[in-house]
Each structure stands twice: as structure tokens, then as C-alpha cells.
Amino acid sequence: MHEYDLISDEVVCALGAAVGEDNLKLFEPMSEHTTFKIGGPADVVLTPTSPDAIVRALDTCAIAGVPVTVVGNGSDLLVGDRGIRGVVVLLRDNVASITVSGTRIHAEAGALLRDVALAAAGAGLTGLEPLWGIPATVGGACHMNAGAYDACTADVLESVKVYVPGAELADGSRARGTVRTMDVSELAMGYRKSRIHDEGLIVLEATFALAPGNERMIRSEMDDYQRRREEKQPLEMASAGSTFKRPQGYFAGKLIMDAGLRGARVGAAQVSEKHCGFVVNTGGATAADVNALIRHVQEEVRQQFGVELEPEVKRIGEF
């Protein structure tokens, strides 16, 4: 058995057969796979290179009763300093094909939303411009209904192909999952939530329905959104994007600034001086640093304004 006594050698061999031995790593630091640049080692990291390989890996884990964490670009994650037990399935450039067909774009789960938007612009298709600067994969964007500038993924999403986990069995393992295609109307997509998130579905592919447009105007609008991001957001620093969800009737960044917390630090974690809605890693920050700073910000905002700030950053792994 391996160090954490969760995954037998037999299961590791089966996973290697499912995805290819070159696409399996042991005790890989998750700091290499998150935009926060924070996170301890995962027991096993898989990088399957096709939707079929993803399904084989997930089924292998289900049958063996091994916990699975799916990670895309790692742009909204805070991984614990002790890492992640079980298997991490990375869905990024290993499964990232993009195909344009008329006014529709088909993309695998690991394709970056930015690259899908660039493909749309090149084809003269409009609709993705406000979303193109979001540092998410297609799978992650669908999972959390990523959005910006009063637009969201659900606005342009037509359908997704998902892996549906099988039923839990008496011994704690699961039956094999199934693959199905779901229309956006079935996904209950709301502010930073979806049925994909709530039911633990795993996006394999997605189809976006766009509209014909003028390529020059589309690219000009994309450039404008990018300038606005660069002016207001600390894109030059490691972070997980907006740290808190927008509380109803308020803006998280303004509440934090008004609470006098601009530049507040715990260890190497800091409330950004450029945009108070971001917690940034100034270099060598730990998950414990970030957690402590988030709690401090929440407490100060609660005491001063009576507003509860809910983290948008998702905590995973062992802290």
C-alpha cells in the first residue's frame, strides 16, 4: 500500500492502464496546478487524454472506492497544505480540443474559456466577449456558471456531455457511471452554481451557441474587457480570482476596503492593494495563511457592517 493507505498498487496499475502510465504521477504538488500556487501533494494525479480515458479513470476509482477530485485550471481553488488524498483527475490541455461548426463551438472540458473565445472571434461569432478573461476551463466554467461583467456561462451554453457517478454500493464503492448529454435548461444554473456542482457531475464536453458578428468589433470588445481587468485586478499576482461572492446589495471589495483592510496580511497572504476583493499570494503563502486572512476579513466586515461574506474560493484537500 502507499503512504496514505488509500490506494493499492493494484489500483495504481489499473489507473495507469486506464489513462496510460505516462499520464499518472504520484505525490504531485498541487501548488503546480493552482493559480494560487498553493497546495500540498496529491496521492495520485491523472492526466487522461480523451473523454473515454476520463470515463475509464473515473470508473476505476468508483469500483475501487477511491475518492476522486477533478481539477481544471485550478483558478478558484485553495488546496490544503497537506494535499489531497485519493486521486486528482486534471482536465486541462490534455483534453482541450475546440471545434467550430456554424454558429456553435464544441469544446472538451479542459479547453480554456479564453481559447474558446479566441476561436469564436476568429470565426466571427459573438457572445463570449465578456467571459474571455476568466481563467477557467470549459468544465470549470460550466460547473460554477462562471461569469463577469453581467454575463455568465449559461447565457451562451447550449448543452454539456457529463459523466454521472454511479450509485453508491453497500461496501462504500460505486457502480460504474454513465455518460449523458444535458441541455442547459436541465442544469439549474444560477449565480456561481449549477446542477453540475450540486450533483457531482463531471463535464466531458460542452457546446456553446453563439451568433454571427463582426470579427474586428468582437476583438475590439475583448481588448476593452482585458484593459478593464488589467486596470482593476491584480492579474500580475498569484490568486484564485475573486475571493468572496458578491453579497446581495453590496460589493465585497468595497466592504473590505471600507473596513480598512486594504493590504492586510497574514504571513505571505495579502488583501490586494489594487482590488480588495482579491486575496493574493505575495510569495510562499500557505493555505493556512489564506484561511486565516479570509476569516479575519469575514470577522471585520461582519462586525463593522453586519454583512456575511461567503467565500467564492473552494477549499479542497487536507488543511
- Grid cell 495504481 is found at 12
CB-CB neighbours of 97 under 10 Å: 12
Torsions phi, psi for 71 (to 5 deg): -125, 135
Catalytic: 31? Answer: no
Catalytic: 239? Answer: no
**214 CB-contact burial (10 Å; exposed 0-12 / middle 13-18 / buried 19+):** exposed
Of the chain, the end-to-end C-alpha distance in Å amounts to: 23
The dihedral through the CA atoms of 22, 164, 317, 242 has a sign that is positive
User: Rounded to whole angstroms, how far apart are CA atoms 222 and 20?
Assistant: 38
What DSSP character marks residue 184? G
Catalytic: 242? Answer: yes
User: Rounded to whole angstroms, how far apart are CA atoms 1 and 85?
Assistant: 14
Close Cβ partners of 76 (under 8 Å, ≥ 6 residues apart): 136, 140, 144, 240, 241, 312, 313, 314
Which among 28, 192, 205, 239 is annotated as catalytic? 192
Which among 215, 262, 312, 315 is annotated as catalytic? 312
Which among 31, 75, 194, 242 is annotated as catalytic? 242
Catalytic residues: 192, 242, 312
